[in-house]
Amino acid sequence: MLEKLRHHPAWPASLIAVFLIVYITYDRRWTYSPIIEWDVCNYYSYIKGVLFEGDPYLRVWNVDSNRMEIFTYKGEKSEKMTGGLAFLYLPGIIVSHIFASISNDFSPDGLSLPYRIGLQYNVLIYLWIGFFVLYKVVFRLVKNHLATFLSLLTVFFGTNLFYYAAVENAMSHAYTFSLFSLWLYLSMKWIDRPSQKLSVAMGLIAGLIIWVRPVNLVLLPAGLGFLFANQGPKKVSMVMRKLPMHSMVVVLMVIIVLIPQMYYWYTTEGRLLVYSYGEEKFFFNDPKIIDGLLSWRKGWLVYSPALVAVIPGFTWLWHRYPGASLVFSTVVLSFLYITFSWWCWWYGGGYSQRSLIDMLPLLAVPMAATWYLLFRFITPIRLGLIFVLLALISLNVFHIWQYKNYLIHFDSNTRKSYWLHFLKTQHVHGWWEALEAPDYEAAMKGHR
C-alpha cells in the first residue's frame, strides 16, 4: 500500500502544481503586467467580445503608452487566432466573474483585476492533469518509477515549459502540453482495450488540440506508437480491424468540437473555414530547423540545453521499441519541419522556442530512458553525466531568471550578446549594441 502511494502519479503532478501556486502567488505578475497582452489579447477577444458583449467583432488590446491599461475596439474581420484557448480559460473566468460580481471593488466586465488573476491560476488544473497522465504514459514504456519521476521534473524545470507555466501562462503552450499528454494517455488506453467511450474522449481531446492550435494536428499520429510497443501480432491485427470504425467516431467528435469556431467564422466571414493569417505563411522549401534548435537568437537547445539528453534516450527506445520509436521520431521530425517552415521561425517575442513546448510530452519518454540508463549502473562517468544534466537543468532556470530581468532579449540575441551575459546577473556594457533585430517584413517575404 505504502509502495503504491510512493509511486503514485499524483506525486510529481502535485509537486509541480504546489511549486507553481507558490511561485505565481509570490511573483504577483498581475501587479506589473496586464496578463492580457500580445497573443493573449487575440484569444481573450473571444471572452470579452463573444461572451461578455455578444459582439464577434470586438477586440481587446493594450495601450502603448501604458501597458497595464487594456482597451477594446471594433475589428473588421474574424479574429486571427482560433478560439480553443478561450474555451479552456472558462473555469478561471467563471470563478473570477462570480468574485467580481459579488465584490464592490471590481467591475464584472471581463477585464478587471480578478479576471487577470484568474488567468494566472487557471492553467494549474490542466497542468496537474497533464503531468498525472504523462507519468502513466512514460512509466508504461520505461517501467522505472525513479526515471519517470525525474523525466517529468526535467521536462518542467529543464525546458521553457517552466516559463510558460509559471510566468506567461495565459499563452497556449502549457495548455497544449497538457492536452497532448492526455491524447497520448487515451491512445495508450484505447490500444489496450478499444471502446466507443474512449474513442469519444479521444475525439474531444483531439478537437481541443486542433481548436487551440490547428498545426498541432501533426502530433496526433504519435498515439499509434503504442500499437508497436510490445504488442503481439494478434493484438495488432485486432486493433487494426477496429481502427477505421473508431477513427470515424474520433473524426465526428472533432467536428462537433470545432462547430463553435466554424459558426464564428460563418458569422464574421460568411464561410465555415477561414484562413485568418493573411499574408503570413509557411515556406516548406526552406525549413529553419538548425536555426530553430541551435541559433543564438532562439535555439531551443541553446536556451534549454538539458533537452540534449533525449538523444541517448531515443537510442534506447530504438533497441527496446523499434516500431514505437519510428512513429515517435517521425512525428517529432514532422513537427520540427512544419514548425520551422513558418515565416517567423523564431515566433516573435518570447523565451526560447515556445512553439516546441507542445511536443514535450513525446520527449518525456526518451528523457526517462536517459535517466534510466544513468541510474542503471552507477559509475564515476555516469555520476559525472548526472551532474552535467543537473547543471544543464539549472542553466535553463537561470536563463529564465535572466529573461525575466531583461538579460536575454525576446527576439534579437546573437552569439556575442549571449556570451556577454552568460551567467551574469547585471547588464554588461556593449550588450545592447550586440543585439541584432530580425527583419520581420523581409522574413514574411521568405528572406529569413
Lowest mean pLDDT among 78-87, 324-333, 375-384: 375-384
pLDDT, tens digit, 9 for 90 and up, residues 292-307: 999 999 999 999 999 9
User: Is residue 45 over pLDDT 70?
Assistant: yes
pLDDT, tens digit, 9 for 90 and up, residues 135-174: 999 999 999 999 999 999 999 999 999 999 999 999 999 9
Rounded distance between C-alpha atoms, residue 262 and residue 266, angstroms:
6
Among residues of the chain, what percentage have pLDDT more than 90? 92
pLDDT, tens digit, 9 for 90 and up, residues 239-252: 899 999 999 999 99
Rounded distance between C-alpha atoms, residue 418 and residue 448, angstroms:
21
pLDDT at 171 (0 to 100):
98
pLDDT, tens digit, 9 for 90 and up, residues 57-74: 999 998 766 778 898 999
CA distances from 133 to 21, 136, 298, 334, 361 (A): 20, 5, 30, 24, 10
72 φ, ψ (degrees, to nearest 5):
-115, 155
First to last CA, the chain: 57
Q: Are strands 58-63 and 66-74 parallel, antiparallel or unpaired?
A: antiparallel
What is the pLDDT of the chain when averaged over all its residues? 96
Q: What is the mean pLDDT of residues 252-266?
A: 98
Which own/partner pairs from 56-61 qualify as long-range (CB within 8 Å, at least 24 positions apart)? 56/264, 56/267, 56/268, 57/268, 60/36, 60/111
Three-state DSSP state, 342:
strand
pLDDT at 3 (0 to 100):
60
pLDDT at 232 (0 to 100):
77
Residue 160 grid cell: 521553457
- Residue indicated by cell numbers 497556449: 172
Per-domain boundaries in the chain: 2-118, 140-444
Q: What is the mean pLDDT of residues 205-210?
A: 99
61 φ, ψ (degrees, to nearest 5):
-155, 170
pLDDT at 5 (0 to 100):
60
pLDDT at 1 (0 to 100):
53
pLDDT at 103 (0 to 100):
95
Q: What is the mean pLDDT of residues 190-201?
A: 96
Three-state DSSP state, 329:
helix
pLDDT at 236 (0 to 100):
85
Specify the pTM: 0.97
Rounded distance between C-alpha atoms, residue 393 and residue 18, angstroms:
19
Residue 347: count of CB within 10 angstroms of its CB: 18
Q: What is the mean pLDDT of residues 344-365?
A: 98
pLDDT at 233 (0 to 100):
81
